[in-house]
Structure 1
Amino acid sequence: MAAVRDPEATKARIFEAATAEFAAYGIAGARIDRIAREACANKQLIYAYFGNKAELFSQVLERRLVELAAAHPVDAEDVDGWIDRIMDYHAANPELIRLVFWEGLEYGTGGFPHEAERRRHYAGKAAAFAEAQEKGIIDSTIPAGDLLFMLTALASWPTVQPHMQRILVGETDEDRARLRASVRTAARRIAGLDRPES
């Protein structure tokens, strides 16, 4: 009796294998052969489902960003909590931030696939900060998009640079806790929630 094919299960395996492959090697270094082998899928099937390697990368990254957004929506009214949740997410899912950095290395300042959808995605996040600024909850000196960009960088950098974190901050649980508190303090100050004593 022939095995029953399950296209959704196959796509899920491809996404998991592609996430690991792209996180490790980027777009240029990733190999469809390895993805197919890890996913127990036919290489031609990957092309049939996703078109090409760049499109597969784009779809993998978009799905991971949507998962993050769904799990931890922007909460501009609770900057501390949002920073904690984002740092926890990146620590548990380092492949997402690696994918984002590989994308930046590949496309630089030029356009990238599905850029319009990404702009809409982040416009919604920036709007949450703009709304908090309009309500007077956070300072409006820094434009909402700039603020989101800086806070995201603060929250993700320890995952991007674990070796520099070890060198500069230390590697104990106490060191990591202190860094997290420092990131929260910096985020609050950037958002105008805390002002240092003069």
Structure 2
Amino acid sequence: MRAAGHATKERILAAATAEFAEHGVAGARINRIAAEARASKDRLYAYFPSKQALFEEVVRQWAVDVGERTAVRGDDLPGYVGRLFDDYLGNPQTARLQAWIDLAEPDRLASDDLRLTALRPKIDAIRQGQADGHVDPSWHPADLLIVLLGIARSMALSALAVGKIDGGARGRDAAGIRRAAVLAAQRVTEPPGSTQG
């Protein structure tokens, strides 16, 4: 692909990411995406044959980017929650996009679904952490991952909203909320009888 074509495709993906994060798949409009990307609809459809195909590429790119920024290690799941928290705060669009992804087709996850493809290595890291004695083995790795993702996302959303809710009341700053998220993850993951915390 020529450099100009690559730049156009990247602009389309950036515009689509913002559009899907704001409006979801159903509410997103190809006209707005093309206009924001400074590309014609014909050019957009040359790269992505449908809105669904464009959404799937946004999801794929999102999963890769977030995975690279936050990296799961079975010997440091609380650290993973901290990195996810930081990523949500640094990229608020990520939390909105993830919510729309979760709502897109929650009951139909094919074995090659992009969400499952992105989650498998994380589940494997948790399983390895359990085998190595770093993580409570009573958890099913997939269930634990869901809990950790929930802690990171809900606490980050709390941190994003805290200034609006209570004016940043004492002890409710983003750093304090992050510490609470990491501590919660530590307590949830530590093996029985552990002296970690």
Which TM-score applies when normalising by structure 1?
0.85
List gaps (5 residues or longer) in structure 1.
none
Partner residue in 1 for 2:45: 47
Q: Where in structure 2 are the equivalents of 1:4-153 lying within 5 Å? A: 6-111=4-109, 115=113, 117-153=114-150
**Cα distance 1:78–1:163, how it changes in 2: closer, same or farther (>3 A)?**
closer
Q: What corresponds to 1:179 in structure 2?
A: 177
Separation (CA, whole Å) in 1 of partners of 2:116 and 2:38 = 34
Give the secondary structure class of the aligned counterpart of 1:77.
coil
**C-alpha distance 33-195 of structure 1, shift in aligned 2 (>3 A):** farther
Tell me which amino acid in the other structure corresponds to 1:20: A
- Bigger shift: 183-192 or 159-168? 159-168
Higher mean C-alpha deviation, range 19-28 or range 160-169: 160-169
- Between stretches 76-85 and 164-173, larger displacement belongs to 164-173
Deviation track 1:60-101 (CA, whole Å, cap 9, x = no partner) reads 121011011112210221223222211111111122221121
Query: AA paired with 1:27?
Result: V
Unaligned ranges ≥5, structure 2: none
**What TM-score results when the alignment is normalised by the length of structure 2?**
0.85
Instruction: Count residues in correspondence.
Output: 193
CA-CA distance at 1:172 after TM superposition: 5.1
Distance 1:88 1:111 in 2: 28
**Superposition RMSD in Å:** 2.8
- AA aligned to 1:65 is A
Q: Which moved more, 1:96-105 or 1:133-142?
A: 96-105
**Cα deviation 1:10-68 (Å, max 9, x = unaligned):** 00000111111111111111111011111000111111211111111111121011011
TM-superposition CA deviations, 1:106-133 (whole Å, max 9, x none):
3231247951x43232111110010010
- Report if aligned partners of 1:18, 1:35 keep a CA contact under 8 Å in 2: yes
Question: In percent, how many aligned pairs have the same letter?
Answer: 32
Q: Which amino acid is the alignment partner of residue 120 of structure 1?
A: T
Q: Which structure has more RCO (C-alpha within 8 Å, separation ≥ 6)?
A: 2
Residues 63, 168 of structure 1: CA spacing in aligned structure 2 closer, same or farther, 3 A cutoff?
Answer: same
More displaced 10-residue stretch of structure 1: 149-158 or 96-105: 96-105
Task: Identify which range, 187-196 or 146-155, moves more after superposition.
Answer: 187-196
Please give the alpha-carbon distance, in whole angstroms, between the structure 2 residues aligned to 1:168 and 1:85.
24
Q: Which amino acid aligns with 2:139?
A: I
